Structures are given as C-alpha cells and as structure tokens.
Amino acid sequence: MPASMFSSPMLQQVVLAALLAGVLALLGPWWAVYDLHVDEGFNLAKAAAVAEGHALYREVWNDQPPLLTYVLSAVHRLVPHSVAAARIVVLLFSLVLVTSLFRVVLRAEGRFAAWTAALLLTSCGFFLQLGVSVLIGLPAIALAMLSIDLATAGGRRRRLLAFLAGAAFAAAVFTKAFAMIALPALVAALWQARRRDGADAPAPWAHAIGGSALVSAAMLAGMGGFAADQLLGTHVDARGLEALRHQGGPSRLVSLAWKLAPAPLAFALLFGLGAFRMRPGSSLLLPVIWIASAALLLSTHNPLRDHQVLILIVPLCWLGGIGFKSLFRPGERLPLGDFMLGNRDRRIVAASAALLLAGGAVLAVEVARDLAAAQRYLDPAPTLGEQMARERLGLLAGTTRTLVTDRPIDAYRHGLSVPPELAVWSLKRLQTGAVTDDDVIAAIAAHPGAAVLLRRFAHSPDFLRRIGALVPPVTTASDRLSSSSFHYFQSVHAVGPLEQAILPGLPMLMADGIGGLDGPGGGRVSRPSSDHRLPPGAIVARPPGSAQELGACLVAAARAADSATLAAEALGVGRALACAQTQGGGWQEATGGTALCDSADFRRPDDAHATFDDGTVPSALLFAFALEDLLAERGVAPPRWLTMMVDRALGFVLGTQRPDGSWPQSLEAGRYHGHATLNDDAMTGLVRILLVGHERRGGERYRAAAMRGGDFLLAVQGDARQPAFAQQYRDGLPTAARRFEPAAYSTLETAFAVNTLIDLHLTTGEMRFRDGAAAAAGWLADSAVAPATWARLHAIGTNRPVYARRDGTVVERLEDLPAEERASYRWQGGRDVFPEIGHALDRIALLAEGAEAVRAYDRRLRASALLADAPTARLWLDPAAAAGSPGEDGSTRAFAQRCAGLVAAEK
C-alpha cells in the first residue's frame, strides 16, 4: 500500500478499528462466553424488561441512568435474548472511543502521537476486557470522548459540531453519571477551539448547552422525572457501609491504575507530564485537566471499583502518546530525550540505553501479564455453577416463562423473564437493604408458575424454606454431594410410572456417594470382597457396581419415560464421575471423599492408582456418550465438564499406551499391575473404545492407537497349535498374575480379543485382523470341554483345562478345587457364564456373510442391554429384573439391574 494512501485519516481509523476487533477476537471467543461480568446479567435483564413494556424506575429498579438500557432494549427487540448482539453494541462503543481518541490527538499532535495514544489504549488489557462487556462505564466514556472529538473538530460547521458535542456529553452522563468527570476537559476543548478559530468565530457555549439540554430533556421525559431515591440513594447508602469503608482513597486509585494500565500510567508519568510542563497551553491541557478531575473525584469515591478506573486510563493514554512523541520531535524534545540523543559521552549514552531497556523490559512484563489477564477474562472456562444452570434450565424450564434468580444472565440466556423489581438483585442492594428476603418472597408470590434459581449468594435455610413453601425444590440425588450454593425450585410435571419406580430409591442409594455396595460390617465398599470402608462422598468408577452403570440406566429411563427429571439425575451422576477423574483423565477404582469439583480447595486425585481393570474407562466413556446423545435429543448443549471428561479420558488412554501397543492393568506400581493385561477386558476394551472415539470425535490418532493395540494382540497371539490369548503378558510372553491365575491361555480373554480384532477389521478393512480373529475363534470352538461349555484356562502346550487354588496349586479338574474357591471365580461354563465367547463365535460366523451382517448383530446386542459394549458393566434389558428388589446391601449394581428391567418393561 503506498504511503500516501495510508496517510488518509479515514483509512487509518479503519485500520485501527480492525486492529482492535482482531486483537479481541484473538484473545478469546468473547461473543460466546456465558458470563463475562455479573453486571452483564443486570443490564440485560433491565433491557429485556423495558422491551417487554415495563417502565424503568417505576417497575424496574435501576440505580443507573437509562440510555444504555434503552439501546439494549432496542437490540433485544431486534435480536431477542442475544448476549452476543449486546456485546457487539459495546464493541461499537469501544471503536468510537478509540477512533475519537485517535482523531483528537491526530488533529492537534500528528500521526505518530495519535497512533501511540491509540495503541496504548488498545494494548491495555483492562480496556480490552471492558471493550465487549455489557457494562455501562465504557459506553459513557466513549460518548464523552466523542463529545471532545466533536468540540475540537472546528471547520465551517462549528455551531452544529458544538451542538452535537453537548448532546454527546449529555448522552454520556445519562449512560453513567461519572462521565461528568470529563466535563472540565470538554469545556477546555471548546475554549481551545474558539481561541484557535479566532476572536470573530461564533461562541460555542450556547450551542453546546442547547444540545446538552435537548438530550437531557428527552431522557428525563422518558424516565418520568429524576428518580433520586434509586439514582442516588443506594450509592449514598453504600458509602456508609463498614465493609466498604476502606475500599477507596488515593493509594487504592494509584495501585489500581498500575495494576490495570501499567503502560499508559508509565508513559504519562515518564513522558506526558514533562511534555505538558514544556507546552502547558497546548492540546496537552485537555488530558491533564481530565486526569486531574478524575484523580480528584475517584480518590474520594468509596467504594472504588475496577471498572471506574477506565475513565482515568483514557486520558493517561492521550497524555502518554503525546509525551512519547515529544521525546523525539525537535523543538519539543524533552530534557530526557536531549540527554539520551544529544549526549556524546558513550558511557552515559550506554547507561541511558541500558536503563531504558531495563525499564522497557519491566513494562513489557507488566503488559504481558495485563494481556494474559484479559485473555483469561475473555475466554474463561465456564464455572460449574454456570454449567449446572444451563443443564437444569435447559432440561426443566420449558414449562415456565419467568425465572427469579440472583444471577439474571441465567434467565436471559434461556429466554426467560426476570421479575422487573428483581432485575438488579445486586450485592450493593443487599448490603444497603434496598432488597430484602421479604421482597424476593413477595416477587415469587406475585409471579405464579415462576421457577427460582439461586447460585450467587449464600442464602439462609429459613429463606430457602420460605421459597420451598411457594415453589417445590427440585434437587437431584447427587446435589447433596456438591459444596455449591446451587438451589433450584420449580413446579414440575406429574411423575410417571417409571419415575415413581426409580426416583424414590435414589436419595438413599446416593446418600453417601455414588457406586459400590454396603459392606458386611456396615458402611459402603467398592468391591464385594473388600472390608475397607469408603469415605463419605466417594465415587466408585470400577465395574461392577460403578457410578456409570447407574448413570447409564438413568439415561435409558429418561429416554423411555421422556423425563427431564431422570435426565437431570443422570447428569448429576455424570458430573460426579467427571469430578472423580484423575489429573491425567483416568479413574481410580474409587475416589475417596471428593465433593463435586466446585469447591475452592478441590484437588483431583493423581494418576498413581488409576486403573483400566474391569473396563473402568470404556464403561465411563460409553455412559458419557449416551449422556451426550440424550442431551442432543432434548435440545440441550453438552456441558463443558462432559466434553472435557470425554476428551481427557480419551487422551489418558492415548497417553498411557506403551510403545509396543499394550496397556497395563493399572498405573499402580508393583505386583502384576504393570503387565500388559487382557484380563477382564482391560486392554481389549481400550482398543474398542478408541474406535468409538474415532467414530464420534474423528481424529486419526484414536484409530492409529487402536491399530497399535491390534498389532500387539497379533504379536502375542499363540502359534498355529494354540492361536489363543493369555490373561496377561510380560515381555510379550504369557505370565502369571494372582496365585490362582497362572500363565495360561484363556477362553474368555481370547473371546475379548476376537471381538476386538473383528472391530478393527470392520473399521480398517485390514485382513490381518480378520485372520487373527478367525484363528482364535477356531481355537475357541475346538477347546470346548463339553458341548457349548468352556473352561476358563488352558495349559500352554497341552491345551488341557487347568484350575488353580488360592495357594497357587494347579489342578486339572474343577472338582479338585474347594467348593468355596469353585464358586468365587468363573472357572467353567456355557454362554450364560461366558457370553463373550458366544458373541465371538457368532460374529466370526456372520463375518463370512459380510460386514453388514456383523453390524446388524451388534445393533441387536446393543438394543438388548445397556453399556452393551462394556461386558464387565453390561446391564441386560430383562423385564423379569423389574420385579426384583435392589437388595438390602445397598448395591448400585442391583439397583441398576432393576432399573434396566423397569426400562425393558416400559418398552
């Protein structure tokens, strides 16, 4: 682009605006963030109420001027309940602010100073934060800067520009009253413009006052008069609060200015003040006056909030930009510039340069921190409270149009109205007594059918009981495990038969955690053979009896009964399982004593005891996928915790795969846990879930890892005489694990491998996987000890069935085992004992008919059970189980089996 073309002021402003928008977009998806600031919800709720016909100050309580509310209400009428549209409006104000600042400085000081001032502002992280937040401060400052821009424009239309400058300034004050801070600077701008144009130029004062008066009259007429009790009362009362008494003063103002705008403050102090001292009557007078009035008023304001400091940052950028130019410009050069650029002593020049570089480095670090803070602000991870609000409202709020809430962004994002008198249920109103518990109760009573969602403030039990007397509380069984102050109330639909059969048992089942069963000596344990009691709140992730089994049945029940309540219960189980994930993304057998991960001191368990045993990870992921599908069917976006749980778990599987393609039984050190393990579908289940991950998430890495797992299976498969698989391997050879698990080939684990190799063949089309599966299936068919009956273990070499006692003694007849040991392990049986052997033989036979025949078989299997692809957690959809009892031992497994039976009976 030619230099003359870039010299066009209009083009430079376009480039500047594009630069600001681009920086904001690079920092984060600000348009999609759920809630950038709590005040966004207040401003949006007020705008929605006005758009619905409620009057500000009479029906809608409001302690701020009305202009932005009117603008947002107009936007709301055009694009209802669009937070992104409201943020774009604020972005437009940001562009006005930056370009007005640029024009004012360009007009008086030239291009270099204008770009310096504008870049100081656009690189200020705090300005970027407020640049898209639906708050009233920045729009007010933008209008004040626009008024100064108009006042300094000059030209032939001086009277019109003065009139517009006054109108813009009145609009600024009627957006937020603190814009009055810029009034002395505006007066000085009008005075300078008059002096520059000459004594015969028309005086601008009357026109500026006329414009201001016109806008003020229009605003007051729309307000129905000046609402002093709201506009002044709460602010005056707040100044007297003891809790806020020490949140102001000059020291706080200086510390906030350095914290929020280190570069503008440094440039103004180092260069701007020196330039003003040399040219006190120049355009530098305007930012100095603005800074002085802002410093005077803000340092006496109590409490002093972060967002109020922006009105000081703008003139600091203005002053700093001009001062930096004066460091280099002949005739205006600062003494510091003369000292650095004009001194011939090399040592002094070198020392000055070093000092300047050191100061620049310190400032660069501060600016980097500033921008990092802006990035965290503009792209934050949604809190668990936000996600729970989305879940609960997305599932349950379809029967109401009004939401009473202490976080009104929840209502706005779900297309719900807030009672106008509670649109601003702010901390300041609570602290000053402007809103009380009685006011909230009255608002709930005045809006029959309204739902209530509380998640910001800590509310007293008595207050919650009073709400519950008006609107029934809706609490999932897992809510009791959360430390969140999350409370939801709504009159829900009549409970159907399936809900009546399932819901009453959940509170007791999940009273002390999720998963597991009652131990023989009392208390909850994770395994039938364990005597180690689980701590309160523990989440059991290892099947059978795992949280995911209960969750999977709740998903199926919610779908069968079309029940939002059961869907909410399933989500609660999913949240608990997500919080129980280890740091790397796996799960321990049971995560002890963890509250849901919204507590401030929450720490995820480490990976040292994460396990793959009994299909822990695949079954958890299959439940998560079922939950995603249920939410999609109900039109609810999956919460971030669910998406992250899936992605972290799949990443954990990838990260723990060994170079040879295998996985251990668990990450626990010692004993047999580190062996490459097929036992109980540990490794084979991981290969299959990676194929599911590839199907659902895409990404070649999941498919490639699954193929590496398949290559390991083919590498360790027995030779042509015994093309079978062992329970575990060490250095590629079958090895023993527990005393009663000798190194041997296993029919059940061979069946797991056959099904996994078939799945790999169906996905990749590679014949080596099919050939390996066919050879192993042939061994299974040949190794039956009786028609359709198999022994679990076969000796390597002789292929004779073997059985082992607890002391490690190997015998060749089942009858040689003690009766107790015979019943404590699946040593021998048919398809009822080893269903996977039957599936493997059926599928390999159907594969001869083609891939579609196998897929049809798989669809029938999945329709007959929950978690069908996780054999260790599978719940058969057997209507006969509906008549059973969940048992007196509090077993999650028994409850889930009965739940599956009820679902089957419902169908």
Q: What tokens appear for 371 in the block?
A: 């921008």
**Residues 61 and 28: beta-carbon distance below 8 Å:** no
The DSSP string of 230-293 is HHTHHHHHHHT-GGGTTS-SHHHHHHHHHHH-HHHHHHIIIIIHHHHHH-TTSTTHHHHHHHHH
Which among 553, 562, 583 is positioned nearest to 497, based on CA atoms? Answer: 562
pLDDT of residue 489: 93
Confidence of residue 169 (pLDDT cuts 50, 70, 90): very high
Q: Say which residues have a Cβ less than 8 Å from residue 347's Cβ, sequence separation at least 6.
A: none
**Residues 561 and 499: beta-carbon distance below 8 Å:** yes
**Per-residue exposure over 122-131, b if at least 16 CB sit within 10 Å of its own CB, e if not:** bbbbbbbbbb
pLDDT of residue 32: 94
Which range scores top for mean pLDDT: 158-167, 708-717, 800-809? 708-717
Residue range 163-186: mean pLDDT, rounded: 94
Q: Is 563 left (phi over 0), alpha (psi -120 to 50) or beta?
A: beta
C-alpha dist (Å) from residue 501 to 375, 477, 496, 505, 906: 49, 15, 9, 8, 11
Q: Which residue has the tokens 């990676």?
A: 690
Q: What tokens appear for 654 in the block?
A: 């990838």
Q: Which residues pair with 726 in a beta bridge?
A: 745
Distance CA(421)–CA(138), nearest Å, equals 25
Q: What tokens appear for 139 in the block?
A: 């729009």
Task: Residue count of the chain, please give it.
Answer: 907
Q: Say which residues have a Cβ less than 8 Å from residue 640's Cβ, sequence separation at least 6.
A: 381, 382, 387
Q: Say which residues have a Cβ less than 8 Å from residue 773's Cβ, sequence separation at least 6.
A: 753, 754, 755, 757, 758, 761, 840, 844, 847
pLDDT of residue 483: 60
Whether the pLDDT of residue 585 is over 50: the answer is yes
pLDDT of residue 244: 54
- The pairing of beta strand 745-746 with beta strand 793-794: antiparallel
The DSSP string of 799-841 is --EEEE-TTS-EES-GGGS-HHHHHSS--EE-TTT-HHHHHHH
Residue 677: enclosing H or E segment and its boundaries? Answer: strand 676-677
C-alpha dist (Å) from residue 387 to 255, 577, 704, 794: 34, 15, 33, 52
pLDDT of residue 200: 57
Distance CA(290)–CA(147), nearest Å, equals 13
Task: Order across the sheet with 810-811: list the strands.
Answer: 745-746, 793-794, 801-804, 810-811
* Three-class secondary structure of residue 736 per DSSP: coil
Whether the pLDDT of residue 850 is over 90: the answer is yes
pLDDT of residue 353: 65
Confidence of residue 888 (pLDDT cuts 50, 70, 90): very low
Distance CA(550)–CA(898), nearest Å, equals 10
Lowest mean pLDDT among 51-55, 349-353, 458-462: 349-353
Residue range 177-198: mean pLDDT, rounded: 86
pLDDT of residue 222: 81
Lowest mean pLDDT among 173-177, 309-313, 324-328, 577-581: 324-328
The DSSP string of 156-187 is TTHHHHHHHHHHHHHHHHTT-GGGGGGHHHHH
327-336 LR contacts (CB < 8 Å, sep 24+): 327/271, 332/275, 332/278, 332/279, 334/271, 334/274, 334/275, 334/278, 335/274, 336/270, 336/271, 336/274
* Three-class secondary structure of residue 885 per DSSP: coil
Residue 577: enclosing H or E segment and its boundaries? Answer: helix 564-579
Whether the pLDDT of residue 887 is over 80: the answer is no
C-alpha dist (Å) from residue 473 to 322, 466, 483, 829, 877: 61, 11, 17, 50, 32
Lowest mean pLDDT among 87-101, 387-401, 790-804: 387-401
Whether the pLDDT of residue 363 is over 80: the answer is no
pLDDT tens for residues 370-398?
Answer: 899 999 999 998 888 899 899 999 998 87
**Residues 271 and 316: beta-carbon distance below 8 Å:** no
pLDDT of residue 495: 78
CA 126 to chain centre: 22
Which among 641, 627, 618 is positioned nearest to 543, based on CA atoms? Answer: 618
**Residues 451 and 400: beta-carbon distance below 8 Å:** yes
pLDDT of residue 280: 82
Q: What tokens appear for 678 in the block?
A: 């097929």
Q: Full-prediction pTM beyond 0.95?
A: no
Q: Which residue has the tokens 């491998």?
A: 753
pLDDT > 90 in the chain, percent: 63
pLDDT of residue 243: 53
**Residues 24 and 132: beta-carbon distance below 8 Å:** yes
- In 330-480, at which residue ranges do the beta strands (DSSP E only) sit? 403-405, 451-454
Residue range 838-855: mean pLDDT, rounded: 96
- The pairing of beta strand 733-734 with beta strand 728-730: antiparallel
Which among 93, 69, 45, 78 is positioned nearest to 223, based on CA atoms? Answer: 69
pLDDT of residue 1: 44
pLDDT of residue 362: 76
pLDDT of residue 348: 60
Distance CA(520)–CA(698), nearest Å, equals 46
Residue range 582-603: mean pLDDT, rounded: 79
Distance CA(333)–CA(321), nearest Å, equals 14
pLDDT of residue 9: 85
Which among 676, 678, 682 is positioned nearest to 617, based on CA atoms? Answer: 682
Distance CA(427)–CA(41), nearest Å, equals 13
Whether the pLDDT of residue 722 is over 90: the answer is yes
Residue range 286-315: mean pLDDT, rounded: 89
* Three-class secondary structure of residue 352 per DSSP: helix
Whether the pLDDT of residue 342 is over 60: the answer is no
Residue range 108-116: mean pLDDT, rounded: 92
